[in-house]
């Protein structure tokens, strides 16, 4: 039986955390034939939640407030329930779905695909933006995008930390740049969700990841598989530090989440000696935490034949590959800690002001599921003060 109402955190407009309103009377609609009703147990927080809330996705020079919108017409409507990386249990199915699926635990492929293509996604949208997401007690999703994950060794919060928003983006960054076994890959923003995913994925495909991060995270990043951790604290020394770590050899490809003043310096690490390269220098960029504007000499780009790839989301093929790797225990969760859904304001503030010991993902757990799925992993700095 489908419940009529649920608790949810609703985004009611662009702005600060005051635009997130916790409600206990959100109506649950009827299921379409191909859909599932999932009782949410854990949803990983992503930086895109904050950027959408604050309207930080401008694509024009005037930097107007804008939401994530690649399809020409914004799909963001208020109120909207955010939260893309959703884990939960199926509690009801549409008329076209086998009822034996009820009770299964799964992980959502967060994309709202514009076409049926398996290997291209040119106008990406996602649950939590173009449709309601997982910051709620329930979510309605298409059956084809909710993947069964048995793996009893993974708690729900840990599984959510391996969600598609970070891992699929990371895999697409590597794939679109054609990264192959044996290549040296520089990962910036290495301690975040996409960064830790990139390190693990490099190891799976046989590439050699170098992590650009603060040195207090060195031990943790090395344990994930980073070849070396390079200090990012002094931007003017970044290129020199990277080349010291590689013994002066070219970085083959850069997976960048920083942008800003870093971009030109990162490119410099790939063009030290072009005679020693056998592939083009490649830069995949999927973030701009270091700044939304970069100054680059275009002569440097075209004379050194640097290939630049912009990445937002991945494809169905990549989602299915990641699910197989999770099921085969080739990926490990990097969970920082959990917050109750009703404490999402605090989770957002904590994320923005996080200290140097932060690594991995914050996961949001509905209050009704807290004792079972959240308490064990709670962010103690917040809940024990």
Note the pLDDT tens digit of each residue in 152-188. Answer: 999 999 999 999 999 999 999 999 999 999 999 999 9
* Residue-wise pLDDT tens digits, 328-351: 999 999 999 999 999 999 999 998
Q: What is the mean pLDDT of the segment spanning 196-225?
A: 96
Percent of the chain's residues with pLDDT above 90: 84
- What pTM does this model have? 0.94
Average pLDDT on 130-139 reads 97
- Of 352 and 343, more confident: 343
Q: What is the pLDDT of residue 355?
A: 65
Residue 137 has pLDDT above 60, yes or no: yes
Between 39 and 234, the more confident residue is 39
pLDDT tens digits, one per residue of 42-77: 999 999 999 899 887 766 665 565 566 656 677 899
Residue 385 is predicted with a pLDDT of 66
Q: How far is Cα 168 from Cα 146, in angstroms, rounded to an integer? A: 15
Mean pLDDT value across residues 178-206: 97
Each residue of 292-331: pLDDT tens digit?
889 999 999 999 999 999 998 899 999 999 999 999 999 9
């Amino acid at each position: 039986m489908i419940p009529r109402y649920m608790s949810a955190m609703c985004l009611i407009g662009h702005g600060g955390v005051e635009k997130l309103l916790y409600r206990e009377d959100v109506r649950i609609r009827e299921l379409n034939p191909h859909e599932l009703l999932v009782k949410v147990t854990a949803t990983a927080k992503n930086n895109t939640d904050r950027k959408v809330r604050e309207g930080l996705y401008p694509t024009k020079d005037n930097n107007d407030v804008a939401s994530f919108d690649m399809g020409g017409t914004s799909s963001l409507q208020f109120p909207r329930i955010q939260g893309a990386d959703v884990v939960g249990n199926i509690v009801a199915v549409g008329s076209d779905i086998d009822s034996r699926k009820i009770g299964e635990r799964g992980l959502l492929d967060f994309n709202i695909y514009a076409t049926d293509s398996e290997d291209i996604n040119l106008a990406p949208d996602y649950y939590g933006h173009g449709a309601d997401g997982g910051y709620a007690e329930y979510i309605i999703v298409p059956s084809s995008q909710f993947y069964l994950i048995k793996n009893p060794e993974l708690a729900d919060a840990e599984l959510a930390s391996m969600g598609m928003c970070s891992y699929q983006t990371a895999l697409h960054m590597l794939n679109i740049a054609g990264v192959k076994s044996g290549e040296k890959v520089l990962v910036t923003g290495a301690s975040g969700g996409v960064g830790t995913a990139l390190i693990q994925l490099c190891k799976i495909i046989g590439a050699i990841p170098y992590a650009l991060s603060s040195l207090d995270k060195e031990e943790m990043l090395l344990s994930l598989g980073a070849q070396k951790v390079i200090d990012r604290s002094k931007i003017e020394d970044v290129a020199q530090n990277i080349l010291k770590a590689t013994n002066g050899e070219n970085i083959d490809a850069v997976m960048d989440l920083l942008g800003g003043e870093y971009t030109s310096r990162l490119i410099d690490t790939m063009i030290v000696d072009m005679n020693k390269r056998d592939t083009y220098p490649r830069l995949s960029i999927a973030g701009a935490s270091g700044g939304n504007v970069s100054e680059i000499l275009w002569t440097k780009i075209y004379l050194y034949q640097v290939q630049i790839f912009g990445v937002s989301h991945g494809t169905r093929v990549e989602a299915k590959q990641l699910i197989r790797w999770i099921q085969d225990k080739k990926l490990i969760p990097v969970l920082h800690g959990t917050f109750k859904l009703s404490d999402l304001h605090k989770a957002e503030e904590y994320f923005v002001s996080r200290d140097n010991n932060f690594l991995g993902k914050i996961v949001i757990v509905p209050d009704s599921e807290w004792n079972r799925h959240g308490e064990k992993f709670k962010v103690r700095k917040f809940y024990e003060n």
